[in-house]
Each structure stands twice: as C-alpha cells, then as structure tokens.
Amino acid sequence: MSDSVKLYYQGKEYEFPVVESTIGDKGIDISKLRSETGLITLDVGFKNTGATKSKISYLDGDLGQLYYRGYPIEQIAEKSTFVEVMYLLLEGELPTQAQLDEFKHNMNKYSLVSEEMKHLLKGFPRSAHPMGVLSSLTSALTAFNPHAVNVKSEEDVRRAATLLLAKFPVLCAWTYRLKLGLPLNYSDNRLDYVHNFYQMMFRFPTEDFHMDEVVVDALDKLLILHADHEQNCSASTVKMVGSAHSGLFASVSAGVSALWGPLHGGANQAVIEMLEMIRKDGGDLQKWIDKAKNKNDDFRLMGFGHRVYRNFDPRARVIKKVCDDVFNKLGIHDEELDLAKKLEEVALHDDYFIEKKLYPNVDFYSGLIYKALGIPTEMFTVMFALGRLPGWIAQWKEMRLNNEPINRPRQVYIGSPKRDYAPIKDRK
Ligand code: CMC
C-alpha cells in the first residue's frame, strides 16, 4: 500500500498521496490541494518543491552523489566521453558503437551555420558579454530553422536536438572569436566534437595548428561534469519557457540567460575575479573570509555553497584533480591557483562554513582550468553552457514528451485590498 500524508485545516482532515522515488526524496502529490482545501503552498525559491518526475539525473546533497541516468559521475568522468554522455542523457541508455557512429554522423550533417548569422554576430560590439551574444545567436537559430518541432514525432524531436547540439559549439566558438577580433572558423567534420570545438576556438589561419591532448582531455571532462544537474535554475528556465510550447531554440536561449547569473553558471567568472581581487589586495585571506561571514557585507565567497549539496560537490572533487593534472602537465604555475587552494583550506576549517555546510562547488576550480587554457574570463560561462546543453535538451524533451502543462505558479497576495481609483487632484 502506498503512503499518504494527512493535513488538518479548520477542523477537517485531508489526505494526499506520497509519490515514490527510485532513490532520494519522495514527494507529496498536492495537485488537489487547492481544489479541496482552498490553500496553496508557499515555497519561495522552490527550496522544497518538486516540479516534475524525472529519469535524467539524480543528486544526493547530503552524500555528495550525482548520477547521470543512474551512472555515478566519477565513473562517467573517468570512462566516458562528452559525446557518449550527450547520447546517454538524451536517449536514456549508453550507445552501442553503431548508435554512437550514427549520432556523430547526424551531428556532422547539421554542423554548418548559416552565413547570414555572421551579420548578426558582426552587429555586436567586441565589448559585448559573450553570454549575451550566445543567447541572441541561439534564439536567432529559430529564424534560420523555422520548422516547428512536432513533439509527437520522435524523428522531429531527435532532429531538432541534433541540430542544436551540432550548431551550438560553432556559436560558442564564434562568440570567442568575436571577442578577440579573430576570423571565424568552421566545423571540421573529420574531427570529433571536442577536438572540433577546440580547433574552432584556437586555430589561427596563419600557422599550423597543434592540438594538445592534455587540453582536449581536460575540456572533455569539464563538459561531462557540467552536462546535467536535474532541476537547476537554467534547466528549469528552459522548461518554463518550453512549457508554453515555445520552440527548443527559444527555450535554450532563455536557459543561457539564466545560466549567466553569478549565483548560477556565472560563478566561474566571479571566482576568478574574486581571486584576482584578493591577490591585488595583498592576499589577506582571513580578511575576505570575515567579509563573507559578515551579515552586513554583501560579499560572498564565490564558488562556495550549493542549494542541494550540503556535504561536498562530487564534480568539484573531479575538477580539482583535472586542475592539478592540467597545471602539472602544462608546467604552469599560477598564483591564483595557489590562492584558491589556501582559501579552500581556510574556509573548510572555519566554523561558519562548517556550520552552514558550505563547500567548494563545481565553479571553484573550473575557471582556473579555463584560465590556464588561455580562455578569457568572460568566456567561462559559455564553456559551462556548452557542457549543459545536452542536459537542457534532455530536460526539455522529457517535459514535452510527458505532455506537462504550462508552468504557472500561484502566489500569496500581500498587496492592497480592493480600493477605488483616486483622481490626481485628490492624491496626497
Ligand atoms: N559565502 C558566504 N556565505 C554564504 C555563501 C557563500 N558563498 N553561500 C551561502 N552562504 C550563507 C548565506 O548567507 C546564508 O546564511 P544565513 O543562513 O545566515 O542567512 C546561508 O549560507 C544559506 O545560503 P542561501 O543563500 O540561503 O542558500 P541558497 O541555497 O539559496 O544558495 C548559492 C545557494 C549557491 C546561491 C549560494 O551558496 C551562493 O551564493 N554561493 C556563491 C555563488 C556560487 O558559487 N554559485 C555557484 C553554484 S554551483 C554552480 C551551479 O550549479 O550553477
């Protein structure tokens, strides 16, 4: 027999079913709450609210676990590739060799971006933030691919997803090339996804191009680690927009904007800016730790804390190792990396951070790797977006295939009760 919970309100008893999970939080199905009791729930920031049932990824904040379709992130990061992870998230299972080959072949088919998109790109000043440019270009894809996605057709959904996966790295690389005033590179379909992205970012027309496998491997791992994170702010944004049956590209464009914020993906940029600021200020770590703890000070230790992880962020552990590997193999010594390690050490032993369970998150070390690879700070969140794309698409697809209704929260109104309009001469 399945569980239920009882609610007592104004002398009456109401019963609501408990929705079972495979692992982790169960939910109370309150879909009849308002019609039966006249009440709604109030949960600002959705800290306790499950918005959907999902099979894509799972995270346990207390144990610091993250699974993609059931596979632990540590295994995936060690053994898989980003392309395989894209397939896994979208299709639900790891691909056979034949399925993987077909998936790659289809992505290559769509990798050309319309020349007219370049006019749009050139309309942006070089000072434009790459995330703003990326969001605009992603939205503009709709104009160049107006064919609406029929969600009842598996073929249609797959085509739209593949098209976006194929063109998005080109758009990401182009935002970078715009920033540096470099000629735009095209996709080279002889290469795999990550090598291809690498050459679109860094190849110069004037010289031979050598791909450093240490860098390619680090990029692949970073993309894997960012690929999905269940109902996070940007994925929920993609679904919110998509729930109105707006197209996939428009929905993902909104997701890019949500990711941009410093409390979400923008934290990787904010971490480097913070480390630079601390270094230039003389490197007194305790001063900045004290500022982060001070309620009257807006400063927060960027790259620390997470809405769900209250123990450690498993992605941060893998990234820290990748970070050490990259710096050792490339023979780079970086003052900000030293500072980051010291800051982590101080914070992890500080009562405030221990009590509030604030640990380094995925963004604490990722920016240091991007910096070591020569990627400008403002591009860091674009790198996050490229990684998160398969997750956004998988979440969008699941929501549409489940035929979920338009997302439309309610509110507890605390404004003025009804009152009559006053002519301007009577106002005080
Ligand atoms: N530095 C100092 N204090 C903090 C920090 C921090 N980084 N994060 C949380 N706190 C404090 C906060 O002041 C609050 O204190 P109190 O209970 O006294 O009011 C308590 O910890 C709980 O914080 P919260 O803001 O209510 O928690 P949240 O779940 O709403 O926010 C967070 C989570 C990630 C937005 C927040 O920890 C934060 O702002 N971190 C810094 C930004 C950051 O690194 N973001 C990247 C998140 S991981 C990548 C991603 O998934 O996008």
The answer to whether 289 and 344 are in contact (CB under 8 A) is: no
301 Cα to the center of ligand 1, angstroms? 9
What is the 8-class DSSP label of residue 45?
A: G
- Give the span between the Cα atoms of 417 and 370, in whole angstroms: 53
13 in helix, strand or coil? strand
Residue 8 pairs in a beta bridge with 13
Q: What is the mean pLDDT of residues 111-129?
A: 94
Mean pLDDT for the chain?
Answer: 94
Ligand 1 site residues (CB inside 6 A) read 229, 232, 263-265, 267, 292, 300-307, 356, 358, 361-363
Percentage of residues in the chain with pLDDT exceeding 70? 100
330 Cα to the center of ligand 1, angstroms? 33
Probe target for ligand 1 pocket from 278, 311, 358, 383, with the most ligand atoms within 8 Å of CB: 358
The answer to whether 221 and 84 are in contact (CB under 8 A) is: no
Active site residue 192: no
> Can you give the pTM of this predicted structure?
0.92
**Index of the ligand 1 atom closest to the CA of residue 306:** 34
Choosing from 220, 228, 313, 363, the catalytic residue is: 363
What pLDDT score was predicted for residue 88? 98
Sheet containing 4-9, strands listed edge to edge, beginning at the edge strand earlier in sequence: 4-9, 12-19, 27-28
Residue 67 pairs in a beta bridge with 58, 72
Q: What is the mean pLDDT of residues 104-111?
A: 93
Measuring from atom 25 of ligand 1, which residue has the nearest CA? 307
What pLDDT score was predicted for residue 122? 92
Measuring from atom 17 of ligand 1, which residue has the nearest CA? 356
Position 1 pLDDT exceeds 70: no
CA angle, 211 as apex, 209 and 213 as ends, to 5°? Answer: 170
Measuring from atom 26 of ligand 1, which residue has the nearest CA? 307
Position 233 pLDDT exceeds 90: yes
Cα dist. 312→267, 307, 355 in Å?
17, 11, 13
Does the CA dihedral 79-388-212-171 come out positive or negative?
positive
99 in helix, strand or coil? helix
What is the 8-class DSSP label of residue 425?
A: G
Active site residue 363: yes
Probe target for ligand 1 pocket from 231, 236, 306, 348, with the most ligand atoms within 8 Å of CB: 306
What pLDDT score was predicted for residue 144? 87
- Give the span between the Cα atoms of 54 and 248, in whole angstroms: 19
Tens of pLDDT along 330-388?
888 888 888 998 999 999 999 999 999 999 998 898 888 998 888 888 999 999 999 99
**Index of the ligand 1 atom closest to the CA of residue 45:** 30
The answer to whether 253 and 139 are in contact (CB under 8 A) is: yes
Tens of pLDDT along 288-317?
999 999 999 999 999 999 988 988 899 999
The answer to whether 304 and 365 are in contact (CB under 8 A) is: no
Tens of pLDDT along 21-42?
999 999 999 999 999 999 999 9
Burial of 185 by CB count in 10 Å (0-12 exposed, 13-18 middle, 19+ buried)? buried
What pLDDT score was predicted for residue 391? 98
306 Cα to the center of ligand 1, angstroms? 6
Closest CA to 319 of 346, 350, 344, 352: 344
Cβ–Cβ contacts within 10 Å for residue 181, how many?
7
CA angle, 170 as apex, 237 and 122 as ends, to 5°? Answer: 95
